Structure 1
Amino acid sequence: MAIGNGPVGVGIIGAGNISDQYLSNLTTFPDVRVLAIGDLLEERARAQAEKYGVPRAGGVELVLNDPEIDIVVNLTIPAVHVEVSEAILAAGKHVWTEKPIGVSRDESLRLLQKADAAGLRVGVAPDTVLGPGVQTAKRAIARGDIGRPLFAQTTFQWQGPEIFHPNPAFLYAKGAGPLLDMGPYYVSALVHVFGPVAAVAALGLQGSPTRTVQVGELAGQEFPVEIPSTLSVLMDFEQGGQAQSLYSTDSPLLRTGIVEITGTEGTIVIPDPNTFGGEITITRPLTQAFVPPAPMTQQVVDVVQEGVLSGRGVGLLDMARSIAADRPHVATGEFGYHVLDTLLSIEEAAESRSFVQVASTIDEVGSLDADFDPFEATL
C-alpha cells in the first residue's frame, strides 16, 4: 500500500506500559500523525489517548477499520504478536511490531509471506539500534576505526523486572525471558556490525521455578517461570567474528548495557543497545612495553556521536518515509526474523548443550544516515 503526501496516519494496538515510550515520541514527529489507540481494555486506550492528545480511542477494531491509518503499531504481548500483526495486514495496513516478531519460526515466516502477498511492509523493533549511539559506532567500525572486527562481549544481568513491573508474568513466559525480551537489543546491535549469525552455542539455567510480583495491585502474587532465567551464549558470524553474551535475571549485581567490540586496532565500547545514544570510546593498543611497577596507560579516544537523538518510534518513522520514497526501510521483517531465528537457536543450543546452525540469513543490513532528523517535516 502506497502512502500519499503529508503526514502518515498511525494507529496503536496495545496501551500498556511501553505505549508511553512510543506515544511520547510519535506525537512529536511531524511526518506521522497518531490517530487512534485500541486495546482490549478500552478505558486504558482512552486514558492514553487523552494523555497524548490522540483523537480516537476504543477497541482493537476501531484502529483496524480506520481508513486514515496507514501503519499500525503492535504493542501487544509476544504470544499474540503474529495474530495481531496478521489482523493488521488483513485490514490492508502496514505493521510495525514490538519485538520479537513472533514466538515461533513457522508463524513468523507465515506473517512475512502474507505481507509480501499483500504488498505490505513489516517493521520490527528494537529501533533503539537505529539511534545515534549504535549507528555512530557502526559507521566508525565500517570506516576501519578499530581495524578488522574480531569479537564482541555483551552483558545483561540483574534481578528481574518483577521489582518494577506491575504484571511481569508474561516476561517469564515462552517468548520472553531475558533472552527473548532483552536479547533482541544485543543481537540486533551485533548483527548490524558483524552481519548474519551462522551458529550459536549456549548453556542455560533457571534460578527459581517461580517469581513474586513486588509492586502494584498484584504484589505478593506468585507466577511460574517457563524459560531459562540465565543463559551464557557464544555466537559465530557468517562473515567472520565471534561474540559471547550473558543474559540473566538472577543477579543481584546490576550490569547491563555492556557492548564491547574488539578489532585488530582497538576496542570500541558502544552505548546500551536498549537506549538510543550515549558515550562511545575506542581504546587503542599499547604503543610501548609495559614495565611494572609503572602504571599501565592506554590511549582512550572519544567518538563524537552523530545524529539527532529521539526515541522509540524512529524505526516506524524510517519505514513511513521509506514507503513514501519507495525504498527499503532498515528494520525489516526479514531482519526481525533472523534475530528471532538466532534467539530460538540459542534456546535450542541451551537445551541440547551443543552448537546449533542458524538456518536463516539476511543481506547487508541498512543504516540510517547521520543527518536523519525525526523532527524534520519531509513528507
Structure 2
Amino acid sequence: MGIGIIGCGNISGAYLKAARSFPVLDIRAVADLRPEVAAARAAEHGLVAKSIGALLADREIGLVINLTIPRAHVDVGLRVLAAGKHVYSEKPLGVEFAEGRRLLEAARAAGLRVGSAPDTFLGGAHQTARQLVDAGTIGQPIGGTAFFMCPGHESWHPDPAFYYDFGGGPMLDMGPYYITDLVNLLGPVAQVSGMTSMARRERVITSALKKGQVMPVKVPTHVAGTLRFANGAIVQIAMSFDVAGHNHSPLEIYGTEASLLVPDPNNFGGEVKVRRPGGDWVDEAVTLPYADGNYRSLGVADMAHAILANRPHRASGDLALHVLEVMEAFDKSSRSGQVVEITTPLERPAPIGASLVDGRIA
C-alpha cells in the first residue's frame, strides 16, 4: 500500500526506520509545513519530499500517517479523508473527545478508515501478557495500577512547549500508552474518577536548542484517579510531569489467582512476570514477535493488511476514541467532583498470535 507521511518532526524518524520491517508499507512521500524539514527527513531516508497538497493529490498514496502536533491531528486527518485516503494518526487521536468523534464520523461517511497510535500494545511482551489474562492465569481480574511520573520533558526534547499547551499534559501525552494497554488486557472502561493539579504556571527549558526559554503551563501536570472497567476490575492510575522519581512498576494487574507485572507500555518488549500466592515473581517467556526493538509502524502495517484483506484493524479509531473519552473524563471528574460514565462502546482488539511474522499480520 502506498503510504504518505505528514509531519516530519521528532517521531517521524522512528516511524520511517521501523517501516522497513513491513513490506506492505511502501512509503511514497513525506511532507511538512516546513519544506526544509521535510526535505531533510526525505534525504535522510532516501525518500521524496512534497508539499502537503501534492502528497494528498498523489493517487499512488492510499494511507497517510499523520505525525503532526496533537492540536493538528483532527484538522489534518479531515483533510486526508477529504482527499479520499485512509489516515493513521499519532496519539492522541485528538485533544477533545468531540473532535475525535467528528473525525470518525467523517471517515464512516466517506467509507474510509482511521487508525491511531499507540501500537505498542501489539508488541510481543504486551501480547504475551494478553495471552496470560485470556488463558485465566491470573483468574478473574480484580484491579491494577498504572504509573507514569517524571519531572517533565523540557530537559531532553528540542521543542517541548507543546507538552504544556492545550492538548498536552501527561495524560494526553503518556496516558494513551497505559490506557490502551489496559483496554487490551481488560476490555473497555466503564467509569472514571479523577483529580488534577498544576504545580507551576511556568517552566524553563533546559535542553540545548532553546535552553533558558520560559514556557507557560496551560494544562494540568499531575493527574490521578481510578478506572472501573466493564468487567469489574478497578485500576488506580497516575500520570505526572511533576515527580522527580518513583519506584512503581509501570503496569500491574491483579487477579483472584495471581498478579501480573506488565512492562512499560511505551515499549514493545520487556519482562513479563507472574506471582502466585506464597510464591515469588516468575518470568514468563516472551516468544511472540516484535518484542526486540522499536516497531512504531506496526499498527500502520496491521491497518494496511486489514484494508487489503477486508478485516478489522487493531490500532483502530474506535479504540483511540474510547481512550480519548477516558482521558478527557479525568478533567471532567476533577472539575465536577463526580464519577464520569464512559459512553463509547468498544470490543477489545483481536490478539496477535504467532502468525505475526515476516511483517505479515493475520
Please report the TM-score for the alignment, with normalisation by the length of structure 2: 0.96
Structure with the greater alpha carbon radius of gyration? 1
The match for 1:306 is 287
The match for 1:294 is none
The match for 1:365 is 349
The match for 2:104 is 112
- Quick check: 1:64 aligned with 2:56? yes
On the 8 A contact 1:130/1:276 being kept in 2, the answer is: yes
Alignment of structure 1 residues 45-84 onto 2, 5 Å: 45-54=38-47, 56-84=48-76
Q: Distance in 2 between matches of 1:131 and 1:340?
A: 21
- Quick check: 1:94 aligned with 2:86? yes
On the 8 A contact 2:194/2:226 being kept in 1, the answer is: yes
On the 8 A contact 1:127/1:315 being kept in 2, the answer is: yes
AA in 2 matched with 1:300: W
On the 8 A contact 1:156/1:255 being kept in 2, the answer is: no
The match for 1:339 is 323
AA in 1 matched with 2:339: F
Distance 1:305 1:377, change over 3 A: closer
Cα deviation for residue 376 of structure 1 reads 3.7
Secondary structure at the aligned position of 2:15 is classed as helix
Cα deviation for residue 365 of structure 1 reads 2.7
Q: List 4+ stretches of structure 1 deviating above 6 A.
A: none
Q: Distance in 2 between matches of 1:89 and 1:376?
A: 26
Distance 1:364 1:157, change over 3 A: closer
- Quick check: 1:240 aligned with 2:224? no
Q: Distance in 2 between matches of 1:108 and 1:43?
A: 30
Secondary structure at the aligned position of 1:162 is classed as coil
Of residues 144, 147, 158 in structure 2, which corresponds to 1:152?
144
Q: Distance in 1 between matches of 2:71 and 2:213?
A: 21
The match for 1:29 is 22
The match for 1:13 is 6
Q: Distance in 2 between matches of 1:244 and 1:378?
A: 33
Distance 1:118 1:137, change over 3 A: same
Q: What is the CA deviation profile of residues 233-280 of structure 1, one whole-angstrom value per residue up to 9, with x for unaligned ones?
A: 111111210100111111111557610001011111011000001100
How many pairs align?
359
Please report the TM-score for the alignment, with normalisation by the length of structure 1: 0.92
- Quick check: 1:316 aligned with 2:308? no
- Quick check: 1:328 aligned with 2:312? yes
Runs of at least 5 residues in structure 1 that lack an aligned partner in the other structure: 1-7, 287-297
On the 8 A contact 2:305/2:360 being kept in 1, the answer is: no
Q: Distance in 1 between matches of 2:297 and 2:80?
A: 18
Q: Distance in 2 between matches of 1:378 and 1:123?
A: 15
The match for 2:189 is 197
Q: What is the CA deviation profile of residues 153-184 of structure 1, one whole-angstrom value per residue up to 9, with x for unaligned ones?
A: 01111100001011111111122210010000
On the 8 A contact 1:41/1:59 being kept in 2, the answer is: no
AA in 1 matched with 2:286: Q
On the 8 A contact 1:100/1:336 being kept in 2, the answer is: yes
The match for 1:180 is 172
Of residues 257, 269, 293 in structure 2, which corresponds to 1:265?
257
Cα deviation for residue 216 of structure 1 reads 3.1
The match for 1:276 is 268
Q: What is the CA deviation profile of residues 323-379 of structure 1, one whole-angstrom value per residue up to 9, with x for unaligned ones?
A: 111100111111100000000011111222331111222123322223312x34689
Cα deviation for residue 217 of structure 1 reads 2.8
- Quick check: 1:103 aligned with 2:103? no
Distance 1:91 1:256, change over 3 A: farther
Secondary structure at the aligned position of 2:218 is classed as coil
Q: Distance in 1 between matches of 2:77 and 2:261?
A: 35
Question: Identity of paired residues, percent?
Answer: 40
Q: Distance in 2 between matches of 1:72 and 1:163?
A: 31
RMSD value over aligned CA atoms? Answer: 1.5
Q: Distance in 1 between matches of 2:246 and 2:233?
A: 27
On the 8 A contact 2:183/2:348 being kept in 1, the answer is: no
Secondary structure at the aligned position of 1:161 is classed as coil
- Quick check: 1:353 aligned with 2:345? no
